[in-house]
A and B are shown apart, each in its own frame.
Chain A
Amino acid sequence: MKSIIKLFIPAILLTIFTITSILAINNRPTEINILMPAPFADSTSILVNEFNKQYLGQIKLNVIRGPLETESVSDLAISSLLLDKGSFDVLLMDVTWLPKYAAAGWLKPLDYLITKEDLDSLAPGAEIGNTYNKKLYRWPLVADMGLLYWRKDLMTSPPKTPQELLKVSRELQKKGLVKYGYVWQGRQYEGLSCVFLEVLKGFGGEWISKNDEVGLNSPSSIKAASWLKELITSQASPLAVTNYSEPEALQAFESGDAAFMRNWPYAWSELQKKGSSVQGKVGVTTMVSEPGQENTATQGSWGFSILKHTDNPEAALKAINFLSSETSQKYLSLNNGYTPTRKSLFNDQELINNSPILPVLEDALNSAVPRPITPLYAQISDVLQRQLSSLLTDEVTAIEAMEYAQLNTEQILISTGKLQ
Chain B
Amino acid sequence: MISLLLIPASLLIFLVFGMPLIRYVWLSFHASSVITGLIPIPNNGGNWIRLINDLRFWQDTIQTIRFSFVSVTIEIVLALFIALILDQSCKGRGVVRSLTLLPWALPTTIMALGWRWIFNTPYGPIDQLLNHLNIGSLNILSSPNLTWIATVIADVWKTTPFVALILLAGLQTIPEDLYEAFRLEGGTPIQALTKITIPLLKPYIFLGILFRMAQAFGVFDLIQVMTGGGPASSTESIAMYAYINAMRFLDFGYSATVMLGGFILLIISSFTCFILVYHSTNVQEKITS
Q: Does A278 contact B (CB under 8 A)?
A: no
Are B139 and A240 in contact (CB-based, < 8 A)?
Answer: yes
B139 engages A390 (CB within 8 Å): no
From 136 to 159 in chain B, residues with beta carbon under 8 angstroms from any chain A beta carbon are: 137, 139, 141-144, 147
The reply to whether B233 and A240 contact each other, CB–CB distance below 8 Å, is no
Contact B121 A105 (CB under 8 A): no
8 Å CB contacts to A: which residues of B235-253? 244, 247-250
The docked-state distance in angstroms from the alpha carbon of A103 to that of B142 is 36
Q: How far is the CA of A62 from the CA of B178 in the complex (A)?
A: 66
Binding site secondary structure of chain A: helix
Task: Kindly specify which of A113-121, A217-225, A372-380 makes contact with the partner chain.
Answer: A372-380
A382 touches B231 (CB 8 A): no
Do residues A188 and B230 form an inter-chain contact, with CB atoms below 8 A? yes
Contact pick for B120, options A104, A240, A395, CB 8 Å: A240
Report A73 CB to chain B, min CB distance, Å. 11
Contact B227 A188 (CB under 8 A): yes
In B119-142, the 8 Å CB interface with A consists of 120-123, 137, 139, 141-142
B37 within 8 A of A: yes
The reply to whether B137 and A105 contact each other, CB–CB distance below 8 Å, is no
Say whether A389 contacts B232, CB under 8 Å: yes
B52 at the interface (CB under 8 A from A): no
Residues of chain A within 8 A of B137, CB atoms compared: 238-240
Which residues of the partner chain A approach B42 to less than 8 Å between Cβ atoms?
none
Q: Please, which residue of chain B has its CB at the minimum distance from the CB of A393? A: B231
Q: Report the minimal beta-carbon distance from A245 to chain B, rounded to whole angstroms.
A: 8
Instruction: Report the bound CA distance from A241 to B231 in whole Å.
Output: 11
The interface size bin for chain B is: 20 to 34
Chain B residues in 8 Å Cβ range of A376: 34-35, 249
State whether A239 touches B139 (Cβ < 8 A). yes
Bound complex: CA of A146 vs CA of B177, how far in Å?
71
* Residue pair A379, B122 in contact (C-beta under 8 Å): no
Is the C-beta of A251 less than 8 angstroms from some C-beta in chain B? Answer: yes
On whether the beta carbons of B228 and A187 are closer than 8 Å, the reply is yes
Taking CB atoms, residues of chain B closer than 8 Å to A238 are: 121-122, 137
A60 within 8 A of B: no
A390-B233 contact in complex given A100-B250, A239-B139, C-beta closer than 8 Å: yes
**B38 proximal to A (CB < 8 A):** yes
Q: A78-B250, A239-B142 are in contact. Are A104 and B233 (CB under 8 A)?
A: no
Residue of A with least CB distance to B251? A379
* Residues of A contacting B228 in the complex (Cβ-Cβ under 8 angstroms): 187-189, 245
Give per-residue flags for A96-123: 1 if the beta carbon is below 8 A from chain B beta carbons, else 0.
Answer: 0000100111000000000000000000
On whether the beta carbons of A393 and B144 are closer than 8 Å, the reply is yes
Tell me if A188 and B233 are in contact (CB < 8 A). yes
B229 at the binding interface (Cβ < 8 Å): yes
| Contact status B249-A379, CB under 8 Å | yes
On A, residues with C-beta under 8 Å from B are: 71, 74-75, 78, 100, 103-105, 179, 187-189, 238-243, 245, 248, 251-252, 255, 257, 375-376, 378-379, 382, 385-386, 389-390, 392-395, 415-416
Q: A242-B141, A378-B249, A393-B144 are in contact. List 11 more A-B contacts (CB 8 A).
A: A78-B250, A179-B122, A187-B227, A238-B121, A240-B120, A240-B122, A242-B142, A243-B116, A245-B228, A376-B34, A386-B232
Q: B-side interface residues toward A, CB under 8 Å?
A: 34-35, 37-38, 116, 120-123, 137, 139, 141-144, 147, 227-234, 244, 247-250
